[in-house]
Amino acid sequence: MANETGPKSLGDTSAPAPGSSVSHRDICTCFDQYRVTNRRRVRFHNDRQDTSSPAWQHLLALIDEAAADGREVFRPLADMSPQERRQIVTLPTTIAKLTAVEHFILYGSNLVRIPPEIGAMTSLQEFTPYTSYRLHWLPYELTRCPSLKRSTVSTRALYGNEKVRPPFPPLHTGRAVTGTHGLDDVEPGEWGAASVSTCSVCDRSLEGIGIHQAWISLQVATDVLPLLVNACSEACIQSLPTPPGDYVQTPHTGGPGIAQPTADYA
């Protein structure tokens, strides 16, 4: 957890440069991040990543470069223009190649989701997506990073956070992916991601089976994070760890009807 008014020391560009009207990110109106409000229904961001854009190609190249030189600190957005940063709403699955990265800095991003491949970053010790105000949840696969000990996250932007307790998007568990594109091209506003391929818990392929989605809040590094689980079975859901005492104590399917502890208003 971090102080929302703390110093912007990691390359934040939330304000346009002098003489420029270009912002590097969009405004999020999913819920009020500073006070408790009516528990209206919230949904996943449905932004789709333009993988044909120069910004995406630039990000791919930066990841390839970092993987090739084995760098330990990776801050790709610092090497991108404000216009490019605004176009990046997720990360490529190729982040799985960043096995030497120890500190992953995504300060002030326009991200709305992070792919489960982040779980392959086995050297990751510190994760910094601070002031990424449209990033409301993380994939359960983040728990696979065995060395992750520190995080700097804008926790007020997270579903179920202890400050304002915003609701979680409702999940429709037990459904199989249907349609012409299958698991590699699903509707992010409905599933949370643009692709859903393997079980978050046991790695089994989800092809042709009902996907059991669930929310769970767990301590990951410094923060309690809302994690999205895409499981192959109810047995995998039942094997999940127990959340901290001041969060919903079981995996759940979200929606405004889920009873959460009272917000602390701090």
> In this structure, are strands 150-151 and 212-220 parallel, antiparallel, or unpaired?
unpaired
Percent of the chain that is helix, strand, coil (3-state, to 5) = 20, 15, 65
Tens-binned pLDDT, residue by residue, of the chain (266 aa): 554 433 333 333 343 444 445 578 899 989 988 888 766 789 999 999 999 999 999 999 999 999 999 999 999 999 999 999 999 999 999 999 999 999 999 999 999 999 999 999 999 999 999 999 999 999 999 999 999 999 999 999 999 999 999 999 999 878 777 655 678 788 898 899 888 899 999 999 998 888 999 999 999 999 999 999 999 999 999 999 999 999 999 999 999 889 999 877 65
For position 262, what pLDDT does the model report? Answer: 87
Locate 37 and state its tokens: 């409000």
- Each as own residue / partner, the long-range contacts of residues 257-261 (CB below 8 Å, 24 or more positions apart, any chain) are 258/167, 258/168, 260/160, 260/165, 260/167, 261/162, 261/165
Q: Where are the domains of the chain?
A: 54-238
Asked if 36 and 265 count as a contact pair (C-beta separation under 8 A), the reply is yes
Instruction: Return the pLDDT at 41.
Output: 84
pTM: 0.88
Sign of CA dihedral 230, 236, 241, 246: positive
Q: Distance (Å, rounded) from C-alpha 232 to C-alpha 219?
A: 23
| DSSP-H helix ranges across the chain | 54-69, 82-87, 188-191, 234-238
- Residue 113 is predicted with a pLDDT of 96
Write down the pLDDT at residue 12: 37
CA nearest neighbour of 200 among 137, 254, 122, 119: 119
